Amino acid sequence: MVVSIEREGDIAVVTVDNPPVNALGQALRQGLWDAVGALDADPAVRAVVLVCAGRTFIAGADVTEFGKPPVPPHLPDVVDRIEGAAKPWVAAIHGSALGGGFEVAMGCRFRVAVEGASVGLPEVTLGIVPGASGTVRTPRLAGSEAAVDLVTTGRPVKAAKALALGLVDAVVAGDLRGGAVGFARAALAKPLPPAVSARPVASPDAAWWEAQRAAVAKRAKGEVAPLRALDCLRVAAERPFAEAMAHERATFLDLRGSDQAAALRHIFFAERAAPRPAHLAGATAHPIRSAAVIGGGTMGAGIAAALRDAGIPVVLIERDDEAVARGLANLRGIFEGGVKRGKLTEAQAAERMAGVTAGSDYAALADTDLVIEAVFEELSVKRAVFDRLGQVCRADAVLATNTSYLDPRLIAEGLPNAARFIGLHFFSPANVMKLLEIVPTPETSIDTLATGFALARSLGKIPVQAGICEGFIGNRILKRYRAEAEALVRQGVAIAAIDAAMRADGFAMGPFEAQDLGGLDIAFLQREGARAAGQHVPETLGDVLVRAGRKGQKTGGGWYDYAPGDRKPVVSDRVAALLAERITGRSEMDGGAIAAHLTAAMAEEGKAILAEGIALKASDIDLVEVHGYGFPRWQGGPMFKAELGR
């Protein structure tokens, strides 16, 4: 039974129990529909409290039903039926009331939330708009301004803010069910407020709506749903309720079948499947109660910050006192930045730092559960670190390298008990970026691998297993992407046209401006290293620029020129002159064709990566690109896009 009914005197308590998140599948919709009928017919019931079992209130429509034809009763009808019930319903919210879940709550006459709960309309993150009155009832509760923020960003708000906005009527501490029943009794003693659909909504003027449209369009970068949601909200403010409902429903059904919605659903489910891969079901992760990071540079400090954010005590090792002080300063800088941006309080930042011990003596690692090496990307330096770790660490301590290009097998050579060795490739800034590539060697044990995934879960990262090749999954595709972009330049496509095309396609930056930001020299030095080792690495256009002293923004120029102190890329005559003899044609390829060509190249590399077993599944490659390399989420990643063929 997904819906059951109990009595507390004259109050009925309807309990929804549809694990894992009480999603509104057909059985639940029917159960709620029938409950209204049964309780309306029961003269002993004066009011109804709607509670949910398990970790959350109703988390929304059942997303797994979205690929299929809708089956009645449809959610808007269920919400209307609850609102039209003869007895007032009170939604008792814990966990999250999201999407259709919050729409059901808005069909109720009252909403009571427990402290810590949140409410929201995240539909745009799935490429759709709310489809059961979210755009129409929300402005009637909280006004158009709050509704625009909630619906076009999809970001939920916590109970206290929801109360301030008028989205909920009361916040209770502790016993939610008891609190909601008490609220219902008290409410019955007073005249009932009008149903939400009957409340007025004041429309802001046309200029305000136009300003919203410009702001949402700027954020959306090609994503359709936020603008369509804004249109629905405007109709809801300017037209009668029924007309707005019809408009919202038509928009919802239109978007539900769209490519963007399919892509966003693909990423939604891939993200949820990633942390617990089926092939690790029988493995036992080692508990990580303490961790150490070797190297306090940008990457090491970021990893240490991520560990501290998860509450894990950290030892930070650097080679001498001066480097220790620099590492600690880097770490402090990260937490201070968190305070400046309002993400951490001063007290939290201090607590983060208090959990860090720093020094240059490896003896401090004798009882550490996990050590992550993040030193200079040079084999001999890394091997020296693991020699020391092999001597001082417990035999069962998990030892990880954060290498992004080197072969982990070579780094682990000679390590006693190589079964506990693994690659954990973080992305910079490591305390912010969600992606973690997990790279086992042939000797890594399944339990060590499971430890990598468990660590990712506790750090809130999205783990993807990668096999060993140069650049693993992400950097290998990046290399191909850059090579293809350079090939276009050689054919005569303008550098700025390529960057503009990728931005228009939804990337935060194009390939050349991104290199200018990160610096061209790291990849250059890698190529030079490979050349010095006797490998044939053809000259790239980037090599030409670095040899001319153009390493990116930090040298005042790379692919573009930069005025001192200004990050705005300016097309460079000097670059044109430097590359002139290598540019063989003149091409007027349009932006759409450029983006299609480059993303297809990424997918082609992805296919090779899959065929070689470097990635276990195509959706892992999509997660790497979306979470590590700025591939637009609403396109679902290169593999999904290629599969779709559009």
Complex with ligand 3H9: residue 269 or 376, whichever CB lies closer = 269
We find the least distance from the C-beta atom of residue 305 to ligand 3H9, in angstroms, to be 22
Complex with ligand 3H9: residue 103 or 484, whichever CB lies closer = 103
Q: How many CB atoms lie within 10 A of CB 102?
A: 34
Complex with ligand 3H9: residue 4 or 64, whichever CB lies closer = 64
- Sheet architecture: strand order including 96-98: 96-98, 118-120, 157-158
Which whole-number Å values give the CA distances from 56 to 20, 78, 116, 182, in the listed order? Answer: 9, 20, 11, 21
Q: What Rg, from alpha-carbon coordinates, does the chain have? A: 28
Beta pairing class for 370-373 and 356-359: unpaired
Beta pairing class for 3-8 and 11-16: antiparallel
C-alpha angle with apex 165: 161 to 167, nearest 5 degrees? 95
Task: Identify the active-site residue in 94, 247, 286, 425.
Answer: 425
Closest CA to 294 of 161, 176, 384, 417: 384
Closest CA to 225 of 334, 321, 132, 151: 151
Cis, peptide link before residue 20, omega less than 30° from 0? yes
Beta bridge partners of 118: 96, 158
Beta pairing class for 170-172 and 110-114: parallel
We find the least distance from the C-beta atom of residue 102 to ligand 3H9, in angstroms, to be 8
Closest CA to 632 of 488, 445, 503, 473: 503
Complex with ligand 3H9: residue 20 or 564, whichever CB lies closer = 20
Complex with ligand 3H9: residue 65 or 336, whichever CB lies closer = 65
Cα maximum dimension of the chain: 89
We find the least distance from the C-beta atom of residue 195 to ligand 3H9, in angstroms, to be 19
Closest CA to 357 of 280, 291, 271: 291
DSSP 203: P
Complex with ligand 3H9: residue 131 or 558, whichever CB lies closer = 131
Asked if 225 and 129 touch (Cβ cutoff 8 Å), the reply is yes
Complex with ligand 3H9: residue 244 or 291, whichever CB lies closer = 244
We find the least distance from the C-beta atom of residue 88 to ligand 3H9, in angstroms, to be 23
Complex with ligand 3H9: residue 131 or 179, whichever CB lies closer = 131
- Which secondary-structure segment (H or E) carries 544? helix 541-547
Beta bridge partners of 112: 92, 170
C-alpha angle with apex 645: 66 to 262, nearest 5 degrees? 15
Here the tokens at position 596 are 């299609």
Cα–Cα distance measured from residue 44 to residue 64, given in angstroms and rounded to the nearest whole number: 38
Which whole-number Å values give the CA distances from 202 to 103, 199, 580, in the listed order? Answer: 20, 10, 61
The yes-or-no answer on residue 94 being catalytic is no
Complex with ligand 3H9: residue 389 or 450, whichever CB lies closer = 450
Interface residues with ligand 3H9 (CB under 6 A) are 20-21, 23, 55-56, 59-64, 75, 96, 98-100, 103, 122-123, 126, 130-132, 134, 269, 272
Cα–Cα distance measured from residue 99 to residue 224, given in angstroms and rounded to the nearest whole number: 18
We find the least distance from the C-beta atom of residue 154 to ligand 3H9, in angstroms, to be 8
Buried b (16+ CB within 10 A) or exposed e, 188-212: eeeeeeebbbeeebebbeeeebeeb
Complex with ligand 3H9: residue 231 or 543, whichever CB lies closer = 231
Phi, psi of 136 (to 5 degrees): -100, -40
Closest CA to 559 of 579, 575, 577, 544: 575
Cite the active site residues.
Answer: 425
